[in-house]
Amino acid sequence: DQQVKQNSPSLSVQEGRISILNCDYTNSMFDYFLWYKKYPAEGPTFLISISSIKDKNEDGRFTVFLNKSAKHLSLHIVPSQPGDSAVYFCAATPGSSGSRLTFGEGTQLTVNP
Amino acid sequence: DGGITQSPKYLFRKEGQNVTLSCEQNLNHDAMYWYRQDPGQGLRLIYYSQIVNDFQKGDIAEGYSVSREKKESFPLTVTSAQKNPTAFYLCASSLRNSPLHFGNGTRLTVT
């Protein structure tokens, strides 16, 4: 039972354009959501998070949007840069901490120069 | 330079052998975790420990064992009972109510 789902295995965008990565979840108990970025042969690194009391959180070029009624969140990267090319994982947890996470399958983002 | 060290980066074992993956952190984090990543799948939680001498099973604990004798160390043993041990294993740690910090992983291949 995949409680966190990223339906797009891959996404390709041009440098300077917006990248939108999507994530859906099924567990109503999830109330804290995170995005991690992963380069090959490295561990994931934390990118941005959002609590269920908010619908948007912004950090520089990265913005996460949360639609609780649709159980959907998205990560917007603008403008996209070639260095953003990586696998992006969405994760969720039924608590305010970042621990005991349930991860999605990941989306490979490729930003073309 | 604080961080999480997983060793070795690549590990090869014969089927039927137990193998232990090392994870050490010098971040003074209380909680530590082991995840497994398979192609096309997200990270799945194997075991986690929120305090020394205590640990809990995650979603896929069967065939694995852990110990937490020291705050900075959380070794994972992949036993011969684990049916599909070949995978990329990631160790992580965290402070309470903070995002996880991950190590760079160990790729285990069992033939």
Q: Which positions in chain B touch A101 (Cβ < 8 Å)?
A: 43, 45, 100
How do residues B24-65 score in pLDDT, each as one tens digit? 999 999 999 999 999 888 899 999 999 999 999 999 999 999
Query: Using CB atoms, which residue from A44, A49, A96 is nearest to B102?
Result: A44
- Residues A44 and B88: their CA atoms lie apart, in Å, by 12
**Per-residue pLDDT of chain A in tens (113 residues, 90 and over written 9):** 679 999 999 999 999 999 999 999 999 999 999 999 999 888 999 999 999 999 999 999 999 999 999 999 999 999 999 999 999 999 999 876 556 789 999 999 999 99
**Could you tell me where the DSSP H helices lie in B1-111?**
none
List the single residue in A with minimal CA-CA distance to B41: A105
Q: With H, G, I as helix, E, B as strand and everything else as coil, classify residue A27.
A: coil
